[in-house]
Structure 1
Amino acid sequence: MAARDLIAEIKADHGEILFHQSGGCCDGSSPMCYPKNDFHIGGSDVKLGEVDGVEVFISGPQFEVWKHTQLILDVVPGRGGMFSLDNGREKRFLSRSRVFTAEELAALG
């Protein structure tokens, strides 16, 4: 619920947004939030899905590391990444993860 609330707050200020999960910040635990039209999705980026209509992408190399896990978008106290739209709000997005079960991995194909 906290992630959805922060998404709504940021969308009210900035319009359409997207998330990009890369390995560059905080060991890859901080998804970066950008205005949708201000971030170029790379050819090797992978779309993981959407949260409340907001697309979530991950870099190709990070996907290879994380593909066996479910990434969970959370919010914690603190400052976001320098260029992320959650910066300066005294709360930031955080990616948590859990390893998929064998059944979930089989379903993903």
Structure 2
Amino acid sequence: MMIHRLSATSEALKVIEMLKNEYGELVFNQSGGCCDGTAPMCYEKKDFHVPSRNVKLGTVGGCDFFIDPDQFEYFRYSQIILDAKEEKSAFGNSFSLEIDEGYQFITRSRIFSDEENRLLKEQEGN
């Protein structure tokens, strides 16, 4: 059984595909900063330099997803679930690509079971 630190809802995958069709390759970054409220931000891959200290959490919809190392430590024992919701009121209020399309990416988390943590530890060679 393969344990994934990152997953996505069907709604998030739908929005990712829509954005990929419009913009090409994408990348996600969830920073720990105050300005973006720790929301997942979606950028054109060619236009975004991932901070070297950030941790690659996984790939979702064919896009790399990075997270601030402090957040990674906080969520080390959790699965991050990328979701998307319709959000017309945020239009133009973010640098994340989905906002201008009337959506907003959000993350939820689920704590791994003891068994999942054991398997994840084996999987990652720790």
Same fold by TM-score greater than 0.5: yes
3-state SS, counterpart of residue 64 of structure 1:
helix
Which segments of 5 or more consecutive residues in structure 1 lack a partner in the other structure?
none
Q: Kindly, what percent of the aligned residue pairs are identical?
A: 41
- Return 5+ residue gaps in structure 2 as ranges: 1-9, 122-126
1:1-109 equivalences under 5 Å are: 1-24=10-33, 25-26=36-37, 28=38, 30-78=39-87, 79=90, 82-109=94-121
Matches of 2:70 and 2:104, distance apart in 1: 24
The runs of 4+ residues in structure 1 deviating greater than 2 Å are 23-26
Partners in 2 of 1:91 and 1:39 — Cα distance?
20
Q: TM-score with structure 1 length normalisation?
A: 0.89
Larger radius of gyration: 2
Q: Larger RCO: Structure 1 or Structure 2 (Cα < 8 Å, ≥ 6 residues apart)?
A: 2
What displacement does 1:9 show? Answer: 0.8
Q: For the residues of structure 1 that align with 2:101 and 2:46, how far apart are their CA atoms?
A: 22
- For residues 68 and 41 of structure 2, the distance between their equivalents in structure 1, rounded to whole angstroms, comes to 12
